[in-house]
Structures are given as C-alpha cells and as structure tokens.
Amino acid sequence: MEIDLVDDELNILSVSAEETADLGKIIADAIADSRPDLPVVILLNGELGTGKTCLSQGLIDKLAGENASSPSYSLINQYQGNEFDIYHIDLYRLDNEYELDEIGIYEILLEENLILIEWPELIRPYLEDYIEISIEGQADQQRQLRLKANYESGQKLLERVKEYAESRN
C-alpha cells in the first residue's frame, strides 16, 4: 500500500481487494482510537466495482465483527458496534432528494453513528461535515483512493489513518 499526504488529501494506492479491505480496517482503528465526535459521515465515491463495498466491509468487520453485505437492494444496512451503530447506505437507486426523507436518512444523520454512504450525490448538499473517499479503479485490481475531510477533526482522523497505514507497511 503506497501512502502520500498532499494538500490535506490522503492518497493511497491499493494493489488488491484485500488491501482495500485492510484500509477499511485501518480507518476503523483510527476511528476507534481517536474517538471523534459523532456522527462521523464517510462518503464513498467510485464507479461500480471499484471497491466501495470492499472498503466498507473491512471497516464494519473491524468495528462490529460482522460480515457486511452490499446495501444495494436494502438501501440501508445497520450494524451494532461496541460503542456506536454503523449504517452502510447505498443511494444508487434513489432518483431525487425527496426519497432521502422516505428512507429515513435524516434521522440517521442526527444520531451518534458512523455512517458510510455510497453514491452520495443526492445527500452531499445537505451535509456539513464529512470525510470523502474517492476510488478509481486501475489495471490488475489496483485502486487509487483519495481521502479528504472538510472539517478539522475529520482531517485529524485522516492524519491518524496515515500514521496507522504507514506503521503497517
């Protein structure tokens, strides 16, 4: 796993699905150890098959000890972690912002949870603080991941992710 922090953006090259899931576990460790103010919202961007769910599975496995599945059909999967609930949300099939209210996303965002949102385009304008992870697929299962936060404690969390990732290399 190659790691670089440039202009408050953490860039990581993952060479396999396993490394992408491991990055999810590293993010989980950073969250568990830094105990950030909740909710923590992580937006996951990327084309189909780039590793959004794979990253989420590593994170959920580490924090909740569960094998996570894609929420593509259920839209929202909920997991109980030791200290907070984890919501894995997929907004791919939603057509407009009115459907966000129908699935109850605003109530979830008001609670002290960790919230992972795939296909976040509809909800982004309504969010204040979030961490955004963009994933671009490359040849041979390599993935370029760009992590950035739009708030101070989110940026501190990303700095801790960098430290943890470097210590595992």
Q: According to the model, what pLDDT value does residue 168 have?
A: 78
Q: According to the model, what pLDDT value does residue 82 have?
A: 85
- Summarised one tens digit per residue, pLDDT across range 10-28 is 999 998 889 999 999 999 9
- Summarised one tens digit per residue, pLDDT across range 133-158 is 999 986 567 899 999 999 988 999 99
Q: According to the model, what pLDDT value does residue 139 have?
A: 58
Q: According to the model, what pLDDT value does residue 73 have?
A: 74
Whether pLDDT at 41 is above 90: yes
Q: According to the model, what pLDDT value does residue 148 have?
A: 95
* 41 vs 70 pLDDT, higher one: 41
Q: According to the model, what pLDDT value does residue 103 have?
A: 92
Which domains does the chain show, CATH number per domain?
2-168 (3.40.50.300)
Region of 90 on the Ramachandran plot (φ > 0 left; ψ -120 to 50 alpha; else beta): beta
Residues 59 and 53: their CA atoms lie apart, in Å, by 10
Residue 25: how many other CB atoms lie within 10 Å: 19
- Summarised one tens digit per residue, pLDDT across range 77-128 is 999 988 899 999 999 988 888 999 999 999 999 989 999 999 999 999 999 9
> Minimal CA–CA distance to 46: which of 147, 143, 134?
134
Distance of CA 63 to the CA centre of its chain: 13
Whether pLDDT at 7 is above 90: no
At residue 77's C-alpha, the angle toward residues 73 and 81, to 5°, is 165
- At 146, list the tokens: 């760009």
Beta bridge partners of 78: 87
- At 75, list the tokens: 């839209």
Region of 51 on the Ramachandran plot (φ > 0 left; ψ -120 to 50 alpha; else beta): left
- Summarised one tens digit per residue, pLDDT across range 46-67 is 988 888 889 999 999 999 988 8
